[in-house]
Amino acid sequence: MTDRQQPGFLEAIEQAGLLVEIWEHFPENMFLIRVEGPDFLVEAANPKMTELFGQDCSGKRLHDFLPWSVAEEVVAHYRECLRQDAPLRYEEHATFHDARGQEREGHWLTLLVPVHDPNGTITHLFGVSQNVTELRLARASLERYNRDLEAVVDERTRALNAVNQQLQEANRQLEALASSDTLTGVGNRRHFQAGAEREMERARRHGGALSLLMFDLDGFKSINDQDGHAAGDAVLRKVAASVQTTLRANDLFARYGGDEFVLLLPDTPLAAARQMGERLRTQVQEDAGVALSLGGAGFEAADTQLEMLVQRADAEVLAAKRARKAK
């Protein structure tokens, strides 16, 4: 068949009614691009594509009806399809003006298929371009919504974490207030009792040594009466600070009431506890200028309550006071 006898593209599809129907009524852009050396011309465009551009693009170069930058991007895809000599799918975004000067913008998903002559040379590129603008806009809207939602979640998470930190700090402060003596800063009676009972149970279970020291300040009432309660409070704070400098990490120290203090010494026999008591007496005398009356008690198997140790130690404190007065 000579070149003159070869039917044109439209003539060829007119010979097949089904192809004509597809070409005329396909809801997306269909087009045939003729390859002319380094250039590309629109040989045919279906009605949907003609409607998009508002003009018949047949016989025109892409640069004739598209902005230069847009045309260059499209041509780059055409050249890539030629280079690969294989179908090429890509998505493109374009903004252009139709024949009436109306600005058109959108996103298209395009499939290019190279068409060969009998010699295997690519003569045309057949393309189908689907308008995915609405899908793109919906996706962008969803992505914005997700970003906004993530921002809200992050903000609320940070706010919640801040509140949790504040609550934790408040709880720590409340726990400290509940377990500390407000005047001296050492443990209070309730905190001491809870810790001492745990240590007694441990000593009972494992048979370890456990000792309790109790002391109060000699002449403390006279300090309050002569110098005032502020002076008495200052002495109590000095005594507590002095004792704390000699404590081990697992020792329990508390203000038991008034000018009475208790000290629980885990893993410490009573004899060693008494020696420590004498060192405390000397230390407090140097630091706070006040004498101590001191008593001790060692944990025994029959001790079912902390008060039993406290009573024995307190009895020694009273005995020490009587002995001082008798001198």
Catalytic residues: 259
d(CA 327, CA 291): 15
d(CA 104, CA 120): 37
Backbone angles phi, psi at 254, to 5 degrees: -150, 155
The three-state DSSP-derived secondary structure of 233-302 is HHHHHHHHHHHHCCCCCCCEEEEEECCEEEEEEECCCHHHHHHHHHHHHHHHHHHHCCCEEEEEEECCCC
- 276 within 8 A of 187, measured Cβ to Cβ: no
- 127 within 8 A of 110, measured Cβ to Cβ: yes
Q: 62, exposed or middle or buried, with CB in 10 Å at 0-12, 13-18, 19+?
A: buried
Q: How crowded is residue 95: how many other Cβ atoms within 10 Å of its Cβ?
A: 12
Q: Where are the alpha helices (DSSP H) in the chain?
A: 9-14, 17-25, 47-53, 62-65, 68-84, 133-179, 189-206, 220-227, 229-244, 270-288, 306-326
- Which positions ≥6 away from 285 have C-beta within 8 Å? 291, 292
